[in-house]
Structure 1
């Protein structure tokens, strides 16, 4: 089974849909703001761009005080960054999983390919894959066009599940119950088909195609994008870029496709992408909020959502946002792990927008200094406990032999010294190690790891390379709590270790499961100190 499908299976298993979808002072010297790939955008004071520093401070305060797990934010007005922050251990130079925000980049690739004459929005989807078509082509499949993929009006009753040896064939084999254009269904597989069409007609993946046309002019460096078994970018999910890259991409669309005086995307494509092609009567993902309060009922364009306040946005699961408000000349890029994404948008609408004016505001050095202090002090909330326990000296360095388990872990060792805990998990094929600072985030000494090579594998989540930060605390004298933050992904993981004499229990908890108050699919591990 592919990574995309196992991730969806995991999300479905814990009761989520697939659509919804900072730097603390101790890390500042290690991760300077001038790191490669960041600080490409011009900066300005908020007041110079007609924004109150107090409003930005209130926004940061509200975000920081909420239960939402924010990772980063960048606010731009008139083309200048006026507010930015990363909740440690997340930092400016790290890429971040975008989930469905990836769709807007795919839409961009489609628009550029169309502009270069490779195909049109009126082309039939069947035209591109004659070798993959079913023996019997239904009238509805025959009528499906590129524009229906873009607007998610493909005619499917439910979105096809990308599976099998060839995802495009799976899509084409799925029954199309309605006439295309008459039924909206959020459809990540449709975005994959757009990516496949770009590759089929240009000979390049969407990422390769975008690189010289968009990524390089915007100085978006190091982007990566997961692929299908055919090597085609998954299109609807799987792209990773930095927060500043989200802001740059959003600013490009706010500029109607122009960057540094050059038209990178046709203005007509930006206009077509940002208008709605469907009048929602209810939230397509459920819920009972009235339309005027629900940003998911404002309309859907070419892989962009409409928003309140006459704006549009790129949007990914757990709250990855590129918010574009032409009337206010404003861009807001946000990364987070949230199950209350409307609340995030409401922070922007209710706190930030009232602080905007059309002209410049008088300089306010005191308010600006307060804002900078808030930005620099952001960090992920942590379950407070003690930095030490009398038990630490007893268990440190001792191998804990685990009973047989489905994860294949044979033993664990905790080396605790110098306000640090090094966890080693022993497997038949080698050891996995991570570092945890007591009361502070500590990066893994072995650098980047693969997501599935965290101390204990997390089922259904993408296996991508990422830096990992860890923090430790003693919840009580006999209970050690370790938190893992793979900082180039959205989700996090934790381990609670309970010592009872020579007996040890290890309980794993993924952040998605924790937020849903459900049981982690991984087993509780038990063992004895050797």
Structure 2
């Protein structure tokens, strides 16, 4: 994902600039989503694209436009039904894929669950409550809040050029110690600075609050209830779950997580993630720039924007480097999960989403279209023969 540092504007100016994304509007859309009658915990309910108001030929065109760009997989879900999925040669529905920074959105979910259980006081609780030694280093560090860690506005100095600080953290014998020793670049809450250290700090804070690593908590309270049978989530040398990356999932299970948020945190009648947390997570907290010219921002470890300049439907999404995405479009009751290995074109998934969006035609079923279905079948077969292009794999 983009690594940027942007000075925050006053709220009055920010609101006018980012009017294209509305947290209030997207919550209204989420509130209109009805609970599913059949949940994909053990098996996905499938439907043809046309049965869910989507043109198969449009999906075929989307696949053809992006499949040669080191796209590894996609899973498209509408109204809780799996309507299309595709995989390149080396991947399938059972293989775990690294999802990189999508881990941050899972860390955020656990934070919301911990707040709901009373293990954290709330998003305004200060890091100094868990790390009292911070005040001796720099009093501003002790004043950093949970909200600021989750919205990339802690104020920590973090060099994203060539992932320098992230590499240094990963090479350090004590990852959290490395993060806590970073100097302050600005006052907390004043600047958006994408920082892997924030998410790892959040994981360390959560481990203190809940008493076990985030990965173990997520396994029992989140992933198992979703029906996730296999996953991987790495830890640092001290056993702290890596809150910023090192998560491995199947594309189908990525889609389940998106569907959970589309359902307002509800799954089979149980609120796994508090609805209030889902709604808080998709509110505009910061305003990083998007390269496609759309106006949106960042919530609690979720990206927020319109789909494109031409498609104003709002989307919130989890994003990982190289093409990992979980897109959630409440207006259309739609989830799109993607994996890939395109380090030179990190907006490839956003273009795939825009192509897929053009295929959404109706809230009602479309007539059966055998010709369009044949086009989609052919496109998926061609996609299944694709192999990575080395020139797209490295920067």
Gaps of 5+ in 2: 5-39, 160-164, 307-312
Match in the other structure for 1:195: 203
Structure whose alpha-carbon radius of gyration is higher: 1
- Conserved 8 A contact 2:131-2:142: no
Q: Does structure 1 retain, via aligned residues, the 8 Å contact 2:107–2:214?
A: yes
- The offset of 1:197, in angstroms, is 1.5
1:322 correspondence with 2:323: no
Which residue is equivalent to 1:245? 253
Which residue in the other structure is 1:75 paired with?
76
Look up the match of 1:86.
87
Q: Secondary structure at the match of 1:91?
A: coil
Q: How does 1:502-517 map to 2 (within 5 A)?
A: 511=390, 515-516=394-395
Q: Deviations over 1:103-157 (max 9, x none)?
A: 1111111111111111121111121123xx2572423212201111000100124
Equivalent residues in 2 for 1:262-273, closer than 5 Å: 262-273=270-281
Q: What is the rounded CA distance, in whole Å, between the counterparts of 2:320 and 2:355 in structure 1?
A: 21
Partner of 2:350: 345
- Of 279, 297, 306, which residue of structure 1 is paired with 2:287? 279
What is the total number of aligned residue pairs between the two structures?
Answer: 344
Question: Aligned-pair distance for 1:265?
Answer: 1.1
Query: What's the TM-score, normalizing by structure 2?
Result: 0.81
Pairwise CA distance, 1:512 = 6.8
Query: Which among 57, 62, 71 is matched to residue 60 of structure 2?
Result: 57
Match of 1:302 among 280, 300, 303: 300
Q: Give structure 1 stretches of 5+ with no counterpart.
A: 1-15, 20-36, 284-288, 383-491, 494-510, 517-530
| Equivalent position SS for 2:45 | coil
356, 360, 376: which is aligned to 1:355?
360
SS at match of 2:215: helix
Measure, in 1, the Cα distance between the counterparts of 2:272 and 2:84: 26
Tell me how far 1:189 sits from its aligned partner: 0.7
Q: Does 1:181 align with 2:192?
A: no
**Secondary structure class of the residue paired with 2:82:** strand
- Partner of 1:324: helix, strand, or coil? strand
Instruction: Name the structure 2 match of 1:367.
Output: 372
Name the counterpart of 2:293. 291
Matches within 5 A, 1:106-255: 106-119=107-120, 120-130=122-132, 133=133, 136-158=136-158, 161=166, 162=169, 164-255=172-263
Shift of 1:38: 9.7
> Distance between the aligned counterparts of 1:171 and 1:107, measured in 2?
18
Alpha-carbon contact 1:156-1:183 (below 8 Å) kept: no
Say if 2:128 and 2:135, in contact at 8 Å, map to a contact too: no
Cα distance between partner residues in 1 of 2:234 and 2:302: 20
Flag the 1:512–1:153 CA change in 2: closer, same or farther, 3 A.
Answer: farther
Task: Name the structure 2 match of 1:44.
Answer: 47
CA distance in 2, matches of 1:211, 1:156: 30
Report the CA distance shift for 1:49/1:200 in structure 2 as closer, same or farther (over 3 A).
Answer: same
Q: What SS does the aligned partner of 1:158 have?
A: coil
- The one of 334, 337, 344 equivalent to 1:333 is 337
Q: Distance in 2 between matches of 1:343 and 1:158?
A: 26
Does structure 2 conserve the Cα–Cα contact (< 8 Å) formed by 1:86 and 1:379? yes
Using the TM superposition, give the Cα deviation of residue 275 of structure 1 relative to its aligned residue in structure 2, in angstroms.
1.8
**1:9 maps to which residue?**
none
Partner SS state of residue 278, structure 2: helix
- Which secondary structure does the structure 1 equivalent of 2:252 belong to? helix
Output the aligned Cα RMSD. 2.4
Matched, 1:311 2:315: yes
2:108 is paired with a residue of what secondary structure? Answer: helix
Superposed displacement of residue 273, structure 1: 0.8
CA pair 102-135 structure 1, distance change in 2 beyond 3 A: closer
Over 3 Å counting, the alpha-carbon distance change for 1:377 and 1:513 in structure 2 is closer
The secondary structure found in structure 2 opposite 1:99 is coil
Distance in 1 separating the partners of 2:191 and 2:217: 31
Distance 1:279 1:109, change over 3 A: same
Q: CA deviation at 1:323?
A: 0.4
Q: Is the 8 A contact 1:75 1:332 kept in 2?
A: yes
Aligned in 2, Cα 1:513/1:323: closer, same or farther, shift over 3 Å?
closer
Rounded Cα–Cα distance in structure 2 between residues aligned with 1:350 and 1:224: 31
